[in-house]
Amino acid sequence: MSRPTIARIAIRWVLVLLVATTLDSRCGAQSDAGNTEPPIVPLVTPQPPPSPPGPPPYGGPLLDRMKLTGDWGGSRSQLRDYGITIDASSTQYYQGDVAGGLNQAFEYGGRADYLLNFNGEKLGLPKGFFIDLHGETRYGETANNLPGTFLPTNLMMAFPLPNGTVTALTGVKFTQFLSENTMVFAGKINVFDGFKQPLTGAIGIDGFMNTSLMFNPVYIRTVPYSTLGAGFAYLKNYEPVVSALILDTNNTPTVSGFDTFFNNGATFLWQVNVPTRFWELPGHQGLSGSYSSGSYSNIQGSPYLNPISGTVVVPTSVDTGSWSFAYNYDQAFYVSPDNPQRMWGVFANLGVADGQPSPIRWFSSVGVAGASPLTTRKLDTFGVGYSYLGLSDRLKGSALIPIQNEQAIELFYNIGITRWFHVTPDIQILDPFLQRTSTALLVGMRAKIDF
């Protein structure tokens, strides 16, 4: 070895020893002086935070993939990378009244949903700009009229229209994020697409079927299902905390809505939903309300009402203005340590409305729902709920036959056969609003495939 090389090695070792001695002496002096000097920390190159997980793959083995049709030879993932997401599902129902009610029979029907999302930034449009489209097809028969209830026992079979075979574009929403937490939106609003109360099973097609356990029915007079409107929302951790909407009062799922745009006033809908952490577990406490300047009669049509209500009630005078107010609560009792999205807990809803022109005066519901408590059934969900619907005195006074408040109990268990195929047995015990109708037992099966 040459002398210059030996000299360089010797110099490096001397420098290392000097640095080590200096660090040791400073740490000792720091200890002797009562830590009056800040500790010297060896320099470490800061590491960037881990990247968020990418979207789940579409492909994979048939029984493990997200969607039945997979990745379409890679084109589905490419479309998502370019900002275009396409989803479709088919849901079929076989449901019937086996005891009590008006008619004991079984009916078969179904629906299909088509969802198309455009990410504006990936398509060369402004950052934070999104377009969401929702198309629906409804076909076949429904068991909604069999038990004689005031509210549909299978709400998703009442959309976009309660009868016949119909296809409609019920949602065309344009959204612009002004910041990470604030967004504005406008277009044809599918109200149900934005309604999700955690732990209630109120998750569209996959949870409860009965109207009273899918959303608070005090809104049935003032809030349409599909209509033109605009609003804003403030989010925290991707959850809306404060939101408000202005909606056309006309329900227009099968037409554009521009011909009747605000010709019967407007509905103002607001909500404050605050996340909570009781016992270090997630939950929510919320208040919401609506006011409509429209004119209504007590039996005027609503997408959330069974047609049978119009056959037993004499129309009253038309009233202008209707309001409603509601409280919602949910609290997790269990959260999976492996997946924070898997949880189950309790929920409750209370509500009050004007009683005229609204046919409902007050409402309450309570239940337990969420991910299956069976740890080996990671794809399953369940729900057990009870609701009490208080009809208005004005409606009861105008009925041709005696009517009463309505009660419902529903139990469902959503079985994940695969990630793209779910089967849901459902049982409902119903005390209908028609006093002469005995308690009904409704049983059914729902099968959903995500394509």
Question: Does position 251 have pLDDT exceeding 90, yes or no?
Answer: yes
From the centroid of its chain, how far is CA 55?
A: 20
- The model's confidence at residue 309, banded by pLDDT at 50, 70 and 90, is low
DSSP state of 120: T
pLDDT score at 18: 38
Exposed e or buried b for every residue in 121-131, given b needs 16+ CB within 10 A? eeeeeeebbbb
* pLDDT over 50 at 11, yes or no: no
Q: What average pLDDT does the segment 110-130 reach?
A: 96
Beta bridge partners of 424: 446
Distances in Å between the Cα of 181 and the Cα atoms of 128, 242, 243 are: 11, 11, 12
Share of the chain above pLDDT 70, in %: 86
Determine the pLDDT at residue 436. Answer: 86
Q: What pLDDT, on the 0 to 100 scale, is given for residue 203?
A: 66
Tell me what pLDDT residue 54 has: 66
User: Residue 25: is its pLDDT beyond 70?
Assistant: no
| pLDDT for res 387 | 97
User: What digits encode the pLDDT tens for the residues 162-214?
Assistant: 999 999 999 999 999 999 999 999 999 999 887 777 666 556 789 999 999 99
Does an H or E element contain 387, and which? Answer: strand 381-391
Q: How confident is the model at residue 46 (pLDDT cuts 50, 70, 90)?
A: very low
What the block records as the tokens of 43 is 């320099």
Q: What is the CA radius of gyration of the chain?
A: 29
Mean pLDDT of 248-277: 93
Residue 39 has pLDDT above 50, yes or no: no
Question: Across residues 366-395, what is the average pLDDT?
Answer: 93
Tell me, what's the pLDDT at 299?
73
Task: Please enumerate in sequence order all residues whose Cβ is within 8 A of that of 175, keeping only pairs 6 or more positions apart, or say none.
Answer: 129, 130, 131, 132, 183, 184, 185
> What is the band of 50 on the pLDDT scale with cuts at 50, 70, 90?
low
Q: What pLDDT score was predicted for residue 342?
A: 87
- Lowest-confidence segment of 17-31, 177-191, 384-398 by average pLDDT: 17-31
Which pLDDT belongs to residue 301?
74
DSSP state of 181: S
pLDDT for position 201: 54
Of the listed ranges 14-28, 200-214, 285-299, the least confidently predicted one is: 14-28
Sign of the alpha-carbon torsion through 396, 402, 403, 404? positive
Choice among 10-14, 129-133, 404-408 with the minimum mean pLDDT? 10-14
Kind and range of the H or E element at 78? helix 75-81
What type of residue is 35?
A: N
How confident is residue 82, by pLDDT bands cut at 50, 70 and 90? very high
Instruction: Kindly report the pTM of this predicted structure.
Output: 0.84
Residue 209 carries which side chain, given as an amino acid letter? M
User: Coil, strand, or helix at residue 320?
Assistant: strand
- What average pLDDT score do residues 376-389 get? 94
Which pLDDT score, from 0 to 100, does residue 314 have? 76
The answer to whether the beta carbons of residues 153 and 147 sit under 8 Å apart is: yes
Q: Which helix (H) or strand (E) holds 14?
A: helix 3-32
| pLDDT tens column, 125-145 | 999 999 999 999 999 999 999
Asked whether residue 9 carries a pLDDT value surpassing 50, the answer given is no
Q: Give domain limits for the chain.
A: 61-450
Arch. (CATH architecture) of 61-450? Beta Barrel (2.40)
Average pLDDT, the chain: 86
Q: Are 267 and 222 in contact (CB under 8 A)?
A: yes
CB atoms within 10 A of CB 280: 7
Q: How far apart are CA 312 and CA 171, in angstroms?
A: 34
Distance CA 210, CA 93 (A): 13
String of DSSP letters for 217-271: GGGTTT--SEEEEEEEEEEETTEEEEEEEEEESS--SSS-SGGGTTBTBEEEEEE
